[in-house]
Amino acid sequence: SVVVIDNLSTGFSAFLPEGVPLFIGDAGDENLVEGVITQHGVESIIHFAGSVVVPDSMRDPLGYYRNNTMTTRSLLNAAVKGGVNRFIFSSTAAVYGNPDQVPVPEHAPTRPASPYGSSKLMTEIMLHDVASAHGMNYVVLRYFNVAGADPQGRCGLATVGATHLLKIAVEAATGQRAKIDVFGTDYPTPDGSCIRDFIHVSDLVQAHRAALAYLRGGRGSTTLNCGYGRGYSVLETIDAVRRVSGRNFAVSYGPRRPGDIMTMVADTRRIHAALDWTPQYDDIETIATHALAWEEKLFRERGGLPQHAESA
């Protein structure tokens, strides 16, 4: 059974299935967390909470160290006090910085290029040390670019002002944005734009279930890349949204942004060897289709009117 702690700063309580207990509060509130652990007999923690926007972290590094690193320190302290010995952490490919080799393996050097990446790497280090000292086992899942939405349309990315590429592209395809901005077209890549390894959110969910089964099976702590091992450029991703939507939309080209990584593709051999996990949605058009369907539903529910964008 699942119990959720969330301060709802970016989340939505309506997306929780019926009957799942929700405690509205901060993951860094040790009294709250200890109480929930005791009350519900919590044995495992999956820590999804955090701030995730790279450019924001460049402007507000201390905010990111507070919310991503200090909050997790408090959460881990509460976990240790409550005797929780299994911990799954949402980390990021941003810990690698600009990798020396692509696809990037988990043993690659960690050289974050942003406070966001640094704040997550600090948490990984803390988790390793806490586990060594207190007999905790953990799985660190280094997310690559999470995208798409629940194929059944039950939930998806609904945060206003989200900065994820596919989210912005489907907003443009539904007429909610006048254009989409591309930052950097002069990278030494085939089309000059950055390359990313997109993973469907539903496959990522299943990776967490598999990681929990791995820990329950008595396996030792590990760090795993979560991606498909296939890169798509920013411009290829925009074209995929145009194809599945049948709509055209304006694209604006600007300079590179500080902290952005040129190419980030996962070496996925370790996750496939360690976990019972087989991706179901490893296809950019499928990811874009699900993201678009969710965005159209969200737009209707918020009272939006269909937009008649020109055909692609």
Instruction: Give the active site residues.
Output: 116
Residue closest to 198 by CA, chosen among 149, 243, 247, 152: 149
Exposed, middle or buried by CB within 10 Å (0-12, 13-18, 19+), for 10? middle
Tokens of 258: 């500080």
Tokens of 197: 């390894």
Q: Which H or E run includes 137?
A: strand 137-143
Could you say which DSSP state residue 96 is in? G
Identity of residue 235: L
List strands edge to edge, sheet with 44-47. 44-47, 86-92, 137-143, 222-226
Q: For residue 108, how many C-alpha atoms fall within 13 Å in the half-sphere facing its CB?
A: 26
Q: What is the CA radius of gyration of the chain?
A: 20
Could you say which DSSP state residue 42 is in? -
Residue closest to 50 by CA, chosen among 31, 63, 40, 41: 63
Exposed, middle or buried by CB within 10 Å (0-12, 13-18, 19+), for 246? exposed
| SS3 category, 250 | strand
Quote the CA–CA distance of 105 and 80 in Å, as a whole number: 30
